[in-house]
Structure 1
Amino acid sequence: MNAGRPAASDAAIEFETLADDAWLLRLGRSIDDGLNARVHALAARLRLQAPSWLRDVVPAYASLAVFFDPFAIDAAAARAWLRAQCEHAHAAAPSPAARSIEIPVAYGGEFGPDLHDSAAELGVSPQVLIARHSERDYTVAMIGFAPGFPYLSGLDPELALPRLATPRTAVAAGSVAIGGAQTGIYPRPGPGGWRLLGRTPLRLFDTARDAPSLLQPGDRVRFRPIDAQEFARLQAAP
């Protein structure tokens, strides 16, 4: 399979060997909402076709990883099939039905230790930052970094903030943050360098659920500000 060598571009999509059982399809190399929408449309088309040898389809911002069963199909045949799907993606791409999910968030204080400094850096009040962050509709562009971590596109460009110069060694699960031109939610405790604005009591990743990740690529997300009392009530709910 010439592991590690990128193949030539097919219909403006580059095919790269990701593993002996996976191809990486690059539709571009930038963070762009339109490009990400093409990635999700192609992912939906592949899932709709669902050949028996197709194991998984994993979308990112501008690329799509496709895993196949190497005992059921060889890499060249899988690539040929994928190439054909890419050629028809624009004319017959399905429109995936996006779920709309509300994420309650307690902003500031112990929940969002970077809210005030971030607002000051942006030249707005904390209340204005909360309002502008929570009034937007976001799209889950991809899941990455950690299991269940959603990278959300749609952040107001004027709210973009650089990452912390020194990342924290511990970030609470459910922390809602801004990193560069993106916003996201930490699903589990761990290190992180994004600006923490608030926290949600919802569990973003739970292995006890049939679908461990609460959010999936392509989902639509809106944040709803809540107070500490509602946070405690929702956190205690089964």
Structure 2
Amino acid sequence: MRLLPCGAHALLVELDSAAAVQAVHATLRAAGLPEVLDLVPAARTVLVEVRPGAGLAGVRAVLETLDEREPPALGRDVLLPVVYDGPDLDLVARTAGLSTAEVVELHTGAAYTVAFCGFAPGFGYLTGLPEALRQPRLDSPRERVPAGSVGLAGEYTGAYPRASPGGWRLIGRTAATLFDVDRDPPALLAPGDRVRFQAQSR
């Protein structure tokens, strides 16, 4: 863990893994420090913003007690229904040396955590993808990925909240509304949420 000042009222915590990021984020959220205004997890960092004048001593003290093996369980349980008919399902199966049915079984059998959000409003990067399904992005990204597309890339899986360019391997689609400006909160997924995928027929 590396702690870097980030302006006058923030600290950037650099970490070695997505699991460590989740542990730091969950531990600081659970601590409920009144001076903390915002926590922003990313792939290998957590940005901690505090009230002007509050100082960072409390944040540092909490980080000294961090136990990455047993972080607090925070967030909600979210079930996403998926029709597994994505254009890259066969490619993922061939690359993994599996049948398409085995890909679906592995993807739906795993428990995921929203590590962080980004790329587009409502896009959650989910960790927990089985090792057998971890594959690189497409060599040539698509100019338009339909909203609701469920894909995977590297150690992450996730669903596109709106139509956009993208290079993830698409294995299915969900009808869930992942981002709605008229909903409170607008994003269905938030860091720390626990996610499962459920296979549905067409």
Q: Judge conservation of contact 2:123–2:161 (CA < 8 Å) in 1.
A: yes
What displacement does 1:197 show? 0.4
The match for 2:82 is: 105
Taking the aligned partners of 2:177 and 2:164, their CA distance within structure 1 comes to 15
Equivalent position of 1:231 in the other structure: none
Q: 1:121 to 1:188 in 2, by over 3 A?
A: same
Query: What aligned pairs does 1:171-190 form with structure 2 within 5 A after superposition?
Result: 171-190=145-164
Aligned length: 200
Match of 1:45 among 26, 30, 55: 30
Query: What code does the residue aligned with 1:103 have?
Result: L
Structure 2 portions without partners, runs of 5+: none
TM-score (norm 1): 0.76
Aligned-pair CA distance for 1:162: 1.2
Q: Tell me which amino acid in the other structure corresponds to 1:30.
A: S
In the TM superposition, 1:1-238 aligns within 5 A as 13-26=1-14, 28-31=15-18, 33=19, 35-46=20-31, 48-51=32-35, 54-70=36-52, 73=53, 78-90=55-67, 95-108=72-85, 112-228=86-202
Q: Aligned partners of 2:48 and 2:190: how far apart in 1?
A: 17
Rg larger in 1 or in 2? 1
Paired residues of 2:122 and 2:161 also in contact (CA < 8 A): yes
Higher relative contact order, structure no. (Cα contacts within 8 Å, ≥ 6 residues apart) = 2
Q: Is the 8 A contact 2:21 2:44 kept in 1?
A: yes
Report how far residue 136 of structure 1 moved.
0.9
TM-score normalised by the chain length of structure 2: 0.89
Letter of the aligned partner of 1:125 in structure 2?
S
* Structure 1 position 122, deviation (Å): 1.7
User: What secondary structure does 2:83 align onto?
Assistant: strand
Q: Give % identity.
A: 43
Question: What displacement does 1:62 show?
Answer: 3.6
Q: Give the C-alpha shift of residue 21 in structure 1.
A: 4.1
- 1:20 offset after TM fit, Å? 4.6
Does structure 2 conserve the Cα–Cα contact (< 8 Å) formed by 1:43 and 1:64?
no
Deviation at 1:36, TM superposition (A): 3.4
Cα-to-partner distance string for 1:42-94 (whole Å, 9 max, x where unaligned): 23134x1223xx32111234421112343xx1xxx52333222322444xx97
Report the aligned-residue RMSD.
Answer: 2.1
Judge conservation of contact 1:39–1:64 (CA < 8 Å) in 2.
Answer: yes
CA distance in 1, matches of 2:154, 2:105: 19
